[in-house]
Amino acid sequence: MTAVDLSHHVNVVPVKRGVLRRVLFGKVSTSIATLVIAAFFIVALFAPWIAPYDPLKQSFLAINKYPSAQHWLGTDQFGRDVLSRLIYGSRTSLLFGLIAPACAAVIGTTLGILAGYFGGIVDRVVSKMIDLLMAFPELLLAIIVSAALGGGFWNVVLVLTIAFVPGFARVARASTLAVRQEPYIEASLAIGVRTPVIILRHVLPNISASIVLLWTLWIASAIRLEAALSFLGIGTQPPSPSWGNIIREGLGNVLGSPWPIIGAGFAITAIVMSINLIGDAARDMLDPNSSER
């Protein structure tokens, strides 16, 4: 079998033209979800120009103000503008949502491919490590690691990465085991193609759809987990705003100003539901047994 013949087997799930457009705008629900996600990212990107006030500026003259023309979502117990804090908090939460799953995808996919392709002692070691981490729910594992490391941006990224690695590793290992048995892999070995070339040219492209899909779904989980950790006081530390610590601070002043809880809760719900809708649409599109493909 020639190299040209092998190239025809690179994609197990062929990506048709317009798939991305159909995923994002194929239904009314996904179209709305796409617009919601785009709006959040635009707000986060242009926060310094969109936010009407400094999110850290306190004013004793503006404590617990109700929504008005000056403060659209009112103020908190320190006189800080709630809308401005939500806008800047979106930057923190979305950054965690993108960076942590991406790091976990790289590490977990690498471990899963190595375990599935080489087998033997490599597979046993990786599988045992995955099983150990999978014994803990993601939130509990994140709390344990975060409590040991403390808060801070990169510590939280590390915490979420560790929590997500087992999921990526299991999917990558299972997919690699299936691809490893394909005839074109055996043909590549027979003609002397080097292992790194086989992995990069044939194995990785064939499992990439599952990894990208899982990464999409974990973005929502990362945002939710970061909010949970910040709410518990072991995530993003005040005064830096994130949706989780905005809810935490607002909980102690819910009778004086409920707007931080309402605003941050709505933001988390909207972005998580929107990302999940897009992830479900992508799963249906890439599933060979789905009638929507």
pLDDT in tens for each of the 293 residues of the chain? 333 333 333 333 444 446 677 777 878 888 999 999 999 999 999 999 999 999 998 888 889 888 998 999 999 989 999 999 999 999 988 998 899 999 999 999 999 999 999 988 998 999 898 888 888 887 887 888 877 877 777 888 888 898 899 999 999 999 999 888 888 888 887 888 888 888 888 888 888 888 888 888 889 889 988 888 888 888 888 888 889 989 998 888 888 889 999 999 999 999 999 998 888 887 777 654 444 44
Longest dimension (CA), the chain: 78
- Position 173, amino acid: R
Cα angle 118, 124, 127; round to 5: 100
Residue 106 C-beta-side C-alpha neighbours within 13 Å: 6
Q: Which residues pair with 81 in a beta bridge?
A: 75
Give residue 104's pLDDT.
94
Domain ranges of the chain: 19-45+74-286
Cα angle 243, 247, 249; round to 5: 115
User: CA torsion sign, 236 to 241 to 246 to 248?
Assistant: positive
Coil, helix or strand at residue 70? coil
User: CA torsion sign, 149 to 151 to 155 to 161?
Assistant: positive
Give residue 101's pLDDT.
93
Gap between the Cα atoms of 257 and 76, Å rounded: 6
Where does residue 249 rank: exposed (0-12), middle (13-18), buried (19+ CB within 10 A)? Answer: buried
Show Cβ contacts of residue 76 under 8 Å, excluding neighbours closer than 6 positions. 63, 64, 82, 85, 249, 250, 253, 257, 259, 260
The CATH architecture annotation of domain 19-45+74-286 reads Orthogonal Bundle (1.10)
Contact 77, 239 (CB under 8 A): no
Give residue 18's pLDDT.
67
Coil, helix or strand at residue 54? coil
Other beta carbons within 10 Å of 137: 10
pTM value is 0.81
Other beta carbons within 10 Å of 224: 21
Residue-wise DSSP of 238-293: TTS--HHHHHHHHHTTTTT--HHHHHHHHHHHHHHHHHHHHHHHHHHHH-TT-TT-
Contact 63, 74 (CB under 8 A): no
Give residue 286's pLDDT.
65
